[in-house]
């Protein structure tokens, strides 16, 4: 335009115009960053800093070439080069920007569930949404099924499956939860029933949360949401509780797992058993048969150093249903199966269902329930706490009993001390973070 208006071709005006254009491009990219996308994508941020450097260098080169009286064609090609870089930047914004721009309200922030050799990310939105996550430069769509491929599908429950130990961006937030290769500290949290009292005392240094069921009182989504209002930001492994199975379609949509399943986390294998279904506390033989057969088969096949068994049904306990006929029979059946398996890799059997805290130790295997994590505490008024062996004719497995507590909220801490070949456990009272008992 300057050439067309003035045949004298004033070099200074051209330099000033070119520099102003470069500065304009810089301002434009910064405005896009701040007002349009406001993202945390490292690729876009790196691109912006690159274009800032290029425009500054270009301006300096223009001034240098003006004083050296270099041919205008050289300056022209330099300006073309920075224009091309800007176009590349705009393409990056066009591809990745919409993902960064997408905003919605979480009911439950991303939860991290080990899934076979991958990581399952579960999150819940306040209303049906189409959601996307950015893993590096790859776009993943969230949907109500692990097999969902239609990115235009709206849902409240969202799942994304990715390789473990990858950071990702969703809803303008960056998440980075690692799957440990040697998990050693586990938090046992059970029977939350939509009341997240446990969250206030969770230590920062645990590896995995073990949660054996009953996240809501009646199997509703609202109860599950209330159980995880405050995010854990740690890997979580679930088991189905009897209250969860009151709405079987919902809980299957949330967990995307079979009722009996196995999950390996580093050198630790966790076996999940379900013997209570359909919202009932009644045990049925066919359910027990299925769970015991799965446990025997899985222990025989897996190649790990340590095994934890998790279920939502008491094996040994003092309070509530523990001493009814059907639960005694289940404990006998379970113990017979353990004796048949006879595998010293099994370090602990952890369970929920009974709203009290008990520890039994038999054949160097820890049996523990530390509950409730939010549900109503048990109140068998004939005792508040018990210690040491009990009469086995009154309490099944009483000779293996260590301690029992009730009337309060509890959770447990399991530690695998590999160097000293010990299994450590603590019963923790939630209201004051007090260690009630510890075991080695």
**Same domain, yes or no, for 136 and 58?**
no
- Cis geometry, peptide bond prior to residue 365 (ω within 30 degrees of 0): no
User: Same structural domain for residues 60 and 139?
Assistant: no
How far does CA 167 lie from the centroid of its chain? 12
Are residue 370 and residue 299 in the same domain, yes or no?
Answer: yes
Domain CATH for 199: 3.60.21.10
Q: Of 42, 76, 101, at which residue does a domain stop?
A: 101
- Phi, psi for residue 261 in degrees, rounded to 5: -150, 165
Q: How far apart are CA 95 and CA 224, in angstroms?
A: 35
Q: Are residues 167 and 253 in the same domain?
A: no
What per-residue confidence (pLDDT) applies to 432? 95
Do 336 and 264 share a domain, yes or no? yes
Question: Do 70 and 191 sit in the same domain of this protein?
Answer: no
Please give the pLDDT value at position 169.
Answer: 87
- 200 and 283 in a single domain? The answer is yes
pLDDT at residue 26, as a whole number? 66
Residue 126 in domain: yes
Tokens of 180: 């440990």
- Residue 137 sits in the same domain as residue 220: no
Is the pTM higher than 0.85? The answer reads: no
Give the model's pLDDT for residue 292: 98
Rounded to 5°, angle at Cα 121 from 117 and 127: 155
Evaluate whether residue 180 is within a structural domain.
no
- Determine the pLDDT at residue 333: 96
**How many helices and strands, by DSSP H and E, does the chain display?**
8, 21
Domain end point (choices 117, 149, 175): 175
- On whether the CB atoms of residues 192 and 227 are closer than 8 A, the answer is yes
Reported as type and span, the H/E element at residue 178 is: none
What residues of the chain score a pLDDT lower than 50? 1, 36-38
Cβ atoms of residues 48 and 33 within 8 Å = yes
Q: In which domain, by residue range, is 160 found?
A: 106-175
Domain count, the chain: 3
Same domain, 229 and 349: yes
Q: Report d(CA 190, CA 286) in Å as an integer.
A: 25
Do 162 and 219 lie in one domain? The reply is no
Buried b (16+ CB within 10 A) or exposed e, 216-242: bbebbbebbbbbbeebbebbbbbbbbb
Separation CA 89–CA 275 (nearest Å): 56
- 199 in the same domain as 143: no
């Amino acid at each position: 335009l300057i050439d067309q208006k003035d045949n004298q071709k004033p070099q200074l005006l051209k330099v000033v115009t070119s520099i102003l254009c470069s500065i304009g491009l810089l301002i434009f990219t910064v405005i896009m960053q701040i007002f349009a996308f406001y993202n945390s994508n490292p690729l876009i941020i790196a691109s912006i800093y690159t274009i800032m450097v290029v425009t500054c260098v270009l301006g300096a080169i223009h001034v240098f070439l003006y004083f050296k009286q270099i041919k205008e064609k050289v300056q022209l090609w330099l300006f073309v080069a920075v224009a091309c870089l800007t176009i590349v930047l705009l393409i990056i914004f066009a591809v990745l920007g919409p993902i960064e721009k997408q905003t919605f309200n979480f009911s439950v922030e991303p939860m991290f569930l080990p899934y076979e050799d991958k990581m399952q990310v579960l999150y819940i939105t306040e209303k049906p949404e189409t959601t996307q996550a950015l893993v590096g430069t790859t776009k993943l769509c969230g949907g109500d099924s692990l097999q969902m491929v239609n990115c235009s599908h709206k849902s409240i429950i969202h799942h994304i499956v990715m390789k473990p130990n990858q950071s990702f961006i969703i809803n303008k937030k960056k998440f980075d939860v690692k799957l440990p290769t040697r998990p050693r500290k586990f938090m046992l949290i059970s029977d939350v029933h939509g009341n997240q009292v446990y969250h206030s005392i969770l230590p920062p240094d645990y590896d995995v949360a073990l949660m054996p069921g009953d996240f809501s009182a009646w199997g509703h989504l609202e109860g599950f949401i209330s159980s995880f209002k405050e995010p854990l930001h740690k890997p979580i492994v679930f088991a189905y509780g009897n209250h969860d199975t009151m709405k079987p379609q919902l809980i299957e949509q949330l967990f995307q797992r079979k009722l009996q399943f196995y999950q390996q986390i580093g050198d630790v294998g966790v076996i999940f058993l379900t013997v209570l279904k359909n919202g009932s506390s009644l045990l049925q033989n066919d359910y027990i048969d299925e769970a015991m057969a799965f446990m025997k088969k899985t222990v025989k096949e897996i190649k790990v150093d340590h095994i934890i068994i998790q279920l939502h049904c008491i094996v040994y306990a003092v309070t509530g249903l523990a001493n009814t006929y059907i639960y005694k029979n289940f404990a006998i059946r379970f113990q017979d199966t353990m004796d048949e398996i006879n595998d010293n890799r099994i370090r602990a059997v952890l369970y929920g269902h009974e709203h009290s805290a008990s520890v039994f130790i038999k054949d160097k295997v820890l049996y523990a329930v530390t509950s409730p994590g939010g549900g109503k505490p048990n109140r068998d008024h004939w005792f508040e706490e018990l210690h040491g062996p009990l009469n086995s004719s009154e309490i099944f497995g009483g000779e293996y009993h260590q301690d029992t507590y009730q009337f309060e909220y509890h959770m447990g801490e399991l530690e695998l001390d590999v160097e000293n070949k010990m299994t450590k456990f603590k019963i923790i009272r939630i209201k004051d973070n007090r260690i009630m008992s510890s075991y080695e």
